[in-house]
Amino acid sequence: MEAAMIKSIFNEFDHRFNYKNHSELNSGHINDTFFVETDGHKNYILQRINHSVFKDVPGLVNNKALTSNHLKSKYPNLSKDELSKKVLSFVKAKNSDFYYFKNGNDFWNVMVFIENSVTHEIVKDKEIAYEGGKLLGEFLNGTLDFDSSQLIDVIPNFHDMSFRYKQYASSIQSASKERLKKAEKYTKIVAALKDEMHILQNLKETRKIPVRVTHNDTKISNALFTEDHKGICMIDTDTVMPGIIHYDFGDAIRTICNSAAEDEKDLSKVEFNLEYYKAYEKGFLEQTAASLSAVELKYLPLAAKTMIFIMALRFLTDYLNNDVYYKTKYPEHNLERAKNQFKLIESFSKKIAN
């Protein structure tokens, strides 16, 4: 995107610095994200929120701001500047909202960039897994007393397995014969796992697992670390909303314990890393064990399998729907992502069972 456009949008926010230059960050599937360098002592992240995916962007941004403010209240002894290095800090637009709406179509928001920080697409060290577990645990502990009714459902039915199966069934009906043929092996797996993959949802609906404020997109690239591998905070809080901790734990394990990127085509490289699972679980439980029920603890392993599966199902559904949701780089991209996740389930099942 041209510098003049980014500068113009950035200047709609009350940051009090001058735009210097920008670069695009390409890690996300949904939104467009830019690093903005200024002439001051702070740099920023400028994000265009995908309005076709997120229907209530003002509500989404309000969720993010409320959550950050609540988390900041947990650190009463930190200064404003110190807090901006520990918790995501959002910048108001000049019209006083935390977002800017341009041309009746695009929503933008700005947050303070946390300097000397890094993200990881793939975990290559059990220390990162351990620190990642601590980060998520700290986030969930920090939001434990936050009334989830204050938050909107950013994406209704986001992790609702019955809903995802309905979407999948619809995609089967409308898919081309060619795509159905290429996906045939995996449609059989989806049918075989249906009952097991509804266990967590049934526990939630019968209130055997409590609903609380959850992050809902805990892939390892949404955890921020120092350059020496210490956890800073969870980022990308677009999907913060009511949920169960299994969604968060399972989605984190899905990415942390995959030996390859989620779109790796060579499935021989895709293995479930049990060492990283144990390291992440250790860090997570150090922060959360005292606040989790026996039922929540019992189903942590199933949470991992369930969240790997739901991503496999979503990738497969999008492939059958001709790639209308996730950004793709080539025609079979979503199918390759689905194959990758199904291979991870296979590896997980063998290693956890043993």
Q: Is the pLDDT of residue 105 over 80?
A: no
pTM of the model: 0.89
Tell me how far apart the alpha carbons of residues 205 and 200 are, in angstroms, rounded to a whole number: 9
Q: Which domain holds residue 58?
A: 3-114
Q: Are residues 220 and 142 located together in one domain of the fold?
A: yes
Q: Give every CB contact of residue 235 below 8 A, 6+ residues apart in sequence.
A: 88, 119, 222, 223, 224
Q: Give every CB contact of residue 22 below 8 A, 6+ residues apart in sequence.
A: 3, 6, 7, 10, 34, 35, 36, 37, 46
Q: DSSP readout, 231-265?
A: EEEE---TT-EEE-HHHHHHHHHHHHTBSS-TT-S
pLDDT value of residue 50: 87
Tell me how far apart the alpha carbons of residues 199 and 303 are, in angstroms, rounded to a whole number: 10
Reported as a single tens digit per residue, the pLDDT across 332-344 is 999 999 999 999 9
Contact present, 45 and 36 (Cβ < 8 Å): yes
- Domain end, chosen from 68, 92, 114, is at 114
Q: Is 348 helix (H, G, I), strand (E, B) or coil?
A: helix
Reported as a single tens digit per residue, the pLDDT across 199-237 is 999 999 999 999 999 999 999 999 999 999 999 999 999
Q: Is residue 121 part of a domain?
A: no
Distance of CA 333 to the CA centre of its chain: 19
Work out the average pLDDT over 239-244: 96
Q: Are residues 143 and 286 located together in one domain of the fold?
A: yes
Q: Are residues 17 and 65 located together in one domain of the fold?
A: yes
Q: Is residue 119 part of a domain?
A: no
pLDDT value of residue 28: 62
The number of folded domains in the chain is: 2
Tell me how far apart the alpha carbons of residues 179 and 317 are, in angstroms, rounded to a whole number: 11
